[in-house]
Amino acid sequence: MTQVPRTNTFGYMNRDLDNKVGIPSPSQVVIIDIEASSLRGVSGDTYDTALLSYPVEIAVALDNGDSQAYLIRPEPGWQDWNSEPSDEDIGAIHRISRTRLFEEGRNSRFVAEWLNEQVDGKIAMCDSPNARADLFWLDRLYEASGVERGFDVFYLYDFIALEDPDFDMAYEQAGIADETEHRAERDATEIMRLYCEFYSIKANKEFSASPSTPTL
């Protein structure tokens, strides 16, 4: 598979930013969230290929409230699974069973092509640090599918600074739920809501600080 070259995040912003807020407008952004079989291989640890983690669910969310997710049917060589001790078939974090993936999941090619279409022309963001985990799982998906990945993914918090005083306000206004169970579509929707709130706060401050145009 041909790899999409990484682009400096702020260089990307400088080319595509068409506002004074300092971050891309939510209409330019698509949030991606991925649930996976485990974290094996993400940190660079060496495992047999069959035991590397892989994506089990991928979701996208847009600023207009639209969102969509697909379960992914495991490829024959995808054997990894992180289970609750009480039920070897149920994923410990997302609570999706491997059996369900085989029953309801779409094949990797379908999901890869769908994701290319969803991201086309937009800036894809995720909340995994430096997008490392998501890029690892996307590479697993696209390598298995034989489809070329047509986009890059950027780390959300390269755009939203956690130490920014406006972050806490945006987080509160977004109404982020503290859930122990994670599902891709819900998580993607909440992340987009957070981004929209943060952008709105920044835009309102920029508008308030701008000199008013005198009326005749």
Q: For each of the chain's 216 residues, which pLDDT tens digit applies?
A: 333 333 333 333 333 444 577 899 999 999 999 999 988 899 877 777 878 999 999 999 999 999 999 999 999 999 998 865 556 666 767 889 999 999 999 999 999 999 999 999 999 999 999 899 999 999 999 999 999 999 999 999 888 888 888 888 887 888 776 665 678 999 999 999 999 999 999 888 876 665 655 444
Which CATH fold topology does 24-199 show? Nucleotidyltransferase; domain 5 (3.30.420)
Residue 193 dihedral angles phi and psi, to the nearest 5°: -60, -40
Pairing of strands 29-36, 55-61: antiparallel
Instruction: Spell out the domain ranges in the chain.
Output: 24-199
Rounded Cα–Cα distance for residues 18 and 21 (Å): 9
Q: Which residue is listed with tokens 């079989």?
A: 37
pTM: 0.83
Name residue 13's amino acid.
Answer: M
Write out the two tokens for 103.
């029953």
